[in-house]
Structure 1
Amino acid sequence: MSVQDLAQDYLATGKLGTLPDGHFINGKLTAASNGKMESFDPGRAEAFAEFSLASAEEMDAAIGAAEKAAAHWRRVAPGERCRILNEVARVFRANADRLAVMEVIDSGKTLAEATGDVNSSARLFEYYAGAADKLDGRSVNLGPDYTAFTVREPVGVTGHIIPWNYPTSTFARGVAPALAAGCSVVAKPAETTPFTALLMAELLSEAGVPDGLVNVVTGLGRDVGAQLARDPRIKQLTFTGSVATGVNVAQMAAPNITRLTLELGGKSPLIAFEDADPEKVADGAYWAIFSNSGQICSAGSRLILHKSIRGDVLDILAERASKIKPGHGLRSPDMGAINSDLHLSRIKAHVDAAKSRGVSILTGGDVTTDCETGKGWFFQPTVIADLQPNDPAVQEEIFGPVLSVQNFETEDEAIALANGTEFGLIASVYTRDVGRSMRVAAAMDCGQVSINDYWAGGLELPFGGNKKSGYGREKGWEGLDAYTKVKSITVSNAS
């Protein structure tokens, strides 16, 4: 069925055909043994399926299968790993419609956003397929008496705790480099978005990934997620989520000295100087905060405007935001749903608290529903103006379609405002002055900076944060570092 047929069928019936049932362990779906939990369609605020809650025994079996598979996979020729990962990308593209529709229903995002996520997931496997046979060491010149070189070896079994806001692409950005490096995988998707990871695991198997190499176990974070973090057989743990949960994960992994990649929260600034084009700034800010309903760790949730262009930019932005029509993602709305009722209540609490402080709400500011059905979990696109540096709407991650605006007069003031939170994920600078853009980029305490285009960059570049946004890097060549360990070997040439 085409993507349109799949979408129309679901909208008419509330069903999505055959969904993966159970956990994916050692190359096959296994029946649930510990009960099930409802999974909700955020666009309707209604349950559409059930998924399995794993037992400790099932997680143990998944890690055991991964440990056995890792011992074999590390000996597979890099060229063969390259071939298999390229086949994974092909299979993902062949099943893109089904994956995208499932992603919409699971997460609440729009079909266009989900389709983009599926395409980027396939591209991640292509990118790391190209890296599989190029993970070379280096020779080191110690003089004529020695031959010295380094080799990069796989770390072994890797654990991946996947967030709910980007279930497909976050799965791919960890699993693809792990497999390229010669590692095996145990993944635990978020409990609100379990299905795409299970389907992707099935497709990996279809593409020729050996049994046991990629395992997906669904359930609650406090149960199976915690078990994954604590298990000494896990040699690298990659976590994406909130700061508080990331701290807990790090503490659970610490006794085993497990390697960690933590991609946590953000409060990323878009800085616009007086020479920037107000239309371009407003457009950049629009997509930076309202994409995926603002549920992006790297969302441009702070707009830092030079006072001379404040009025022009905010007039354009507020008008555009007020015209956004939210709706079920399969109907191609302007903006999709909030992932869960719980998270919607958190966003509302943040904005209600801002209202109680008497701040200026230029547009939005409340819960809403699908404009066609009156159902679903949605929040109005919201712009909060003229905030002080210590305001909670500036300092705290809201993780929704809520933009906090600050004003400045000097370059030094803009830098201080941009760096003035506990986060440091990304930043963007809008100016025609190349020298200024380079000075400000150098002064940003964050992992990525873009100039005159908030979402500039791509999966070829490393992604990750500083401060409480976490540590380690994913994507790009640097994304392989987490899954390899370096060994140096020195040979005496003496006779």
Structure 2
Amino acid sequence: MSYTTDLGLYIDGSWRTGEGRDCHNVINPATGETLAALPLATAVDLDEALAATAKGFAHWRTVDVNARAAILRKVADHIRERADVIAVLLTTEQGKPLAEARTEVLSCAAQFDYFAEEAKRSYGRVLVRPTGQRALVLKQPVGPVAAFSPWNFPVNLMCKKMAAALAAGCSIIAKPPEETPASTSAIMQCVIDGGVPG
């Protein structure tokens, strides 16, 4: 399998490619070979992403928890179906042994499965305070969140943050590391294909 050179930014329902943006070279750490050029987000891209995330939050927070859970399970299914391909991308751009990369990718599917079930358990509690008063604890989505993923476990840590936020009803801006864009973009495509609104 060859490394994808079609890298982009996913903003407001569409992939954005170079189009005059500055680029970062993605390097294969085993060979030093340049694999692809990753377009870097501009200030305009960030403004559009923030606006899209705010718009997405208004919709996603109203999606029934059972529907949210079903979507997250579909994302997990897509990740499992594409695990071998995503693992090769991860190994190529990050240098992790293929078996470890595949384990990391499969852990992403497990994260989405776990949080699909947790989405249905977002109930609150009533606490009795020492003064005899009662305090009501409600769990509600707080708004758009930002998630940053490091280079060493790029897909696993991105999925952990994305799955939790989406399960809670929050929209999210996910910023993967520049060193590993193809594997994280492949995960993002699983999220899109699973039905999470862009």
| Fold shared per TM-score above 0.5 | yes
Q: Does 1:84 align with 2:84?
A: no
Q: Does 1:167 align with 2:154?
A: yes
| 2:179 corresponds to 1:183 | no
Matched, 1:21 2:7: yes
Instruction: Please list, as runs of the form range in 1=range in 2, the aligned pairs for 1:189-208 lying within 5 A after superposition.
Output: 189-208=176-195
Q: Tell me which of 82, 86, 90 is aligned to 1:95.
A: 82
Residue 98 of structure 1 aligns to a residue whose secondary structure is helix
CA distance in 2, matches of 1:149, 1:84: 30
Instruction: Tell me the C-alpha RMSD between the 2 structures.
Output: 1.8
- 1:53-452 matches, within 5 Å, as 53-141=40-128, 149-211=136-198
In the alignment, the residues of structure 2 paired with residue 195 and residue 59 of structure 1 have an alpha-carbon distance, to the nearest angstrom, of 20
Q: Deviations over 1:240-260 (max 9, x none)?
A: xxxxxxxxxxxxxxxxxxxxx
Q: Secondary structure at the match of 2:7?
A: coil
Q: What is the CA–CA distance in structure 1 between the aligned matches of 2:77 and 2:5, rounded to whole Å?
A: 21
* Gap regions ≥5 residues in structure 1: 1-5, 7-14, 212-495
Letter in structure 2 aligned against 1:26: D
Q: Which amino acid aligns with 1:186?
A: I
Give the fraction of aligned pairs with identical amino acids, expressed as a percent: 36
Q: 1:356 corresponds to which residue?
A: none
Distance 1:40 1:194, change over 3 A: same
Residue 47 of structure 1: which of 16, 21, 34 is its match?
Answer: 34
- Partner SS state of residue 62, structure 1: helix
Cα offset, 1:194, TM superposition: 1.8
In 1, Cα distance between equivalents of 2:159 and 2:191 = 11
Letter in 2 for 1:121: C
Secondary structure of the corresponding residue to residue 155 of structure 1: coil
**Distance in structure 2 (CA, Å) of the matches to 1:115 and 1:19:** 21
Report the Cα offset of residue 37 of structure 1.
Answer: 2.2
1:337-381 CA-partner distances (Å, limit 9, x unpaired): xxxxxxxxxxxxxxxxxxxxxxxxxxxxxxxxxxxxxxxxxxxxx
Equivalent position of 1:352 in the other structure: none
Structure 2: unaligned runs, 5 residues or longer? none
Contact 2:141–2:170 under 8 Å retained in 1: yes
CA distance, structure 2, for counterparts of residue 20 and residue 78 of structure 1: 34
User: How far off is 1:97 after superposition?
Assistant: 1.1
1:268 — aligned with what?
Answer: none
Q: Which one-letter code corresponds to 1:54 in the other structure? A: A
Does structure 2 conserve the Cα–Cα contact (< 8 Å) formed by 1:20 and 1:29? no
Q: Name the amino acid aligned to 1:150.
A: V
Q: Post-superposition shift, 1:64?
A: 1.2
Q: Secondary structure at the match of 1:149?
A: strand
Larger Rg: 1
Tell whether the 8 Å contact from 1:28 to 1:202 is kept in structure 2 after alignment: no
Structure 1 residue 21: Cα displacement:
2.4
Q: Deviations over 1:292-324 (max 9, x none)?
A: xxxxxxxxxxxxxxxxxxxxxxxxxxxxxxxxx
Q: Which has the higher helix share?
A: 2
* TM-score normalised by structure 2 residue count: 0.92
